């Protein structure tokens, strides 16, 4: 009853593989048996015994059996392994993030004199806005603090500006277009955007957006970080 219940649970493909493995195993056993019988043959079959017990003969027989066994296993399992590899590759491709492009209104941006410009960061929408005379000159995706970390809310002033050469003390990577906020450890800078909040607290921007904000702001420019921003 136990054998019957186990067999009923096997899929046809699994059953075929088990049968094939049994055939392979029996092939190895028959080769070994042939050599043993040859060595123990009676004197009436001396010629056959010498041939069967010959090391070269036994080796050739074993190699032939091994090659056919390997071929059989490759035929049975090869296709499945190949499909698994392709499946894993497609999964890796699917995980690549799609980051929205930075939107720029050149007509509004051209009116910036840095004194009439400010930055708004919307955490809920994961967006940054460069405002010129309270009109949106640029909109960009961002990446703020990941779960367990925090990007502070409030209105800050840019207190430090470093175009290049700033290195993260956490990740050891460059932070181009670094803009520190009110002397804190938090800043706005260019960085990797995976498509979701992932930083240790800073606001990451695509490189083109970070450069645009850097070039149109100055020391003292206001940066407002809010959980949700609604245009007035």
Instruction: Record the tokens describing residue 39, joined without a space.
Output: 């060595």
Residues 205, 6: Cα–Cα separation, whole Å: 58
Looking at the structure, tell me whether residues 38 and 73 fall in a common domain: yes
Q: Is the pLDDT of residue 5 over 90?
A: no
Quickly state the pLDDT bin for 36 (edges 50, 70, 90).
very low
Q: What is the pLDDT of residue 79?
A: 46
Residues 183, 58: Cα–Cα separation, whole Å: 82
Q: Are 132 and 141 in contact (CB under 8 A)?
A: no
DSSP, collapsed to helix, strand or coil, labels residue 204 as: strand
Q: Is the pLDDT of residue 145 over 80?
A: yes
Each residue's pLDDT tens digit, 205-229:
999 999 999 999 999 999 999 999 9
Looking at the structure, tell me whether residues 32 and 117 fall in a common domain: no
Q: Is residue 231 part of a domain?
A: no
* Mean pLDDT confidence for 27-49: 44
Q: Are strands 154-162 and 178-181 parallel, antiparallel or unpaired?
A: antiparallel
* Mean pLDDT confidence for 105-124: 96
Looking at the structure, tell me whether residues 21 and 87 fall in a common domain: yes
> Which domain, by its residues, includes 148?
103-226
Instruction: Record the tokens describing residue 198, joined without a space.
Output: 């992932």
Q: Is the pLDDT of residue 165 over 80?
A: yes
Q: What is the pLDDT of residue 70?
A: 47
Looking at the structure, tell me whether residues 195 and 150 fall in a common domain: yes
Looking at the structure, tell me whether residues 205 and 110 fall in a common domain: yes
Name the range with the highest mean pLDDT among 30-34, 53-57, 94-98, 163-167. 163-167
Least confident of 31-45, 133-147, 200-214: 31-45
Looking at the structure, tell me whether residues 76 and 112 fall in a common domain: no
Residues 207, 142: Cα–Cα separation, whole Å: 11
Q: To the nearest whole percent, how much of the chain has pLDDT over 70?
A: 58
Q: What is the pLDDT of residue 50?
A: 46
* Mean pLDDT confidence for 178-196: 96
Looking at the structure, tell me whether residues 119 and 79 fall in a common domain: no
Looking at the structure, tell me whether residues 110 and 71 fall in a common domain: no
pTM of the model: 0.60
Q: What is the pLDDT of residue 169?
A: 85
Give residue 96's Cα distance to chain centre: 7
């Amino acid at each position: 009853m136990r054998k019957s219940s186990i067999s009923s649970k096997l899929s046809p493909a699994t059953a075929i593989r088990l049968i094939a493995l049994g055939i392979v195993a029996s092939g190895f056993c028959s080769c070994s048996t042939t050599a043993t019988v040859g060595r123990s043959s009676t004197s009436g079959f001396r010629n056959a015994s010498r041939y069967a017990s010959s090391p070269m003969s036994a080796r050739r027989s074993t190699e032939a059996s091994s090659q056919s066994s390997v071929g059989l296993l490759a035929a049975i399992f090869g296709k499945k392994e190949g499909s698994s590899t392709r499946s894993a590759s497609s999964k890796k491709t699917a995980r690549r993030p799609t980051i929205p492009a930075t939107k720029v209104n050149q007509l509004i941006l051209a009116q910036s004199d840095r004194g009439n410009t400010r930055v708004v960061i919307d955490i809920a929408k994961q967006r940054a806005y460069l405002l010129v005379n309270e009109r949106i000159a640029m909109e960009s995706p961002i990446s703020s603090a990941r779960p367990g970390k925090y990007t502070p809310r409030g209105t800050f002033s840019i207190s430090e500006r470093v175009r290049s050469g700033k290195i993260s003390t956490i990740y050891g990577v460059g932070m181009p277009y670094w803009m520190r906020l009110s002397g804190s450890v938090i800043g706005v800078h260019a960085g990797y955007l995976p498509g979701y909040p992932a930083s240790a607290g800073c606001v990451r921007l695509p490189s083109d957006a970070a450069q645009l904000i850097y070039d149109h702001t100055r020391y003292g420019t206001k940066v407002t970080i809010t959980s949700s921003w609604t245009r007035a």
